[in-house]
Amino acid sequence: MKLYKALTLFMPLLLLSGCFWGDEYETKHLIGHYYLDETEPDSGAWYLHFDDEEFGLADALFNCQVVEAGFNEKCIIMRAVCTTPQFYIARMSGTADREVARRNILGPLTEMEFNKALHQLCGNRVPRFDSNLTKASKW
């Protein structure tokens, strides 16, 4: 009987320590309050999220899936796939507010518009796309 009681007490803890819904999705911190959150496990597609004090990592900053990303202290660059390949630039502003961060995103841009805006914003210190940011880590 004691064993039965012990199992009933500890069984919920064992279940909770297992897999939570959604914990197979990977989240990667980029810079500041910005994160990439995987759309599906091992998909290679991500959403850009902003972590603010009120809502945490709530909804994505825009609805297209990011397939390439890179960043420096001035901006985050992203190639996204919606109906056609599109480019986005999230300008760093030091804000802690999601809506301000959302308004600081340029795009969707064509590749030509993207390159021009990126050089205007960053000069010679242009970030490059980093394939490690959009690949799931294998433990």
The per-residue pLDDT for range 26-42, each reduced to its tens digit, is 889 999 999 999 888 87
Q: For residue 101, what is the enclosing H or E element?
A: helix 98-103
User: What percent of the chain is predicted at pLDDT more than 70?
Assistant: 80
Looking at the DSSP bridge assignments, the partners of residue 36 are: 28, 48
71, 114, 123 from 120: Cα distances, Å: 15, 10, 6
pLDDT at position 74 is 93
pLDDT tier at 137 (50, 70, 90 boundaries)?
Answer: low
CA 104 to CA 48: how far, in whole Å?
13
Alpha helices in the chain, H assignment, sequence order? 2-16, 98-103, 111-122
Counted residue by residue, the chain has a size of: 139
Q: Where are the domains of the chain?
A: 26-134
User: How far does the chain reach from its first CA to its final CA, in angstroms?
Assistant: 41
CA 63 to CA 86: how far, in whole Å?
12
> At residue 78, does pLDDT exceed 50?
yes
Looking at the DSSP bridge assignments, the partners of residue 81 are: 65, 85
pLDDT tier at 84 (50, 70, 90 boundaries)?
Answer: confident
Return the residue matching tokens 């991500």: 46
Looking at the DSSP bridge assignments, the partners of residue 69 are: 78
Contact 127, 75 (CB under 8 A): yes
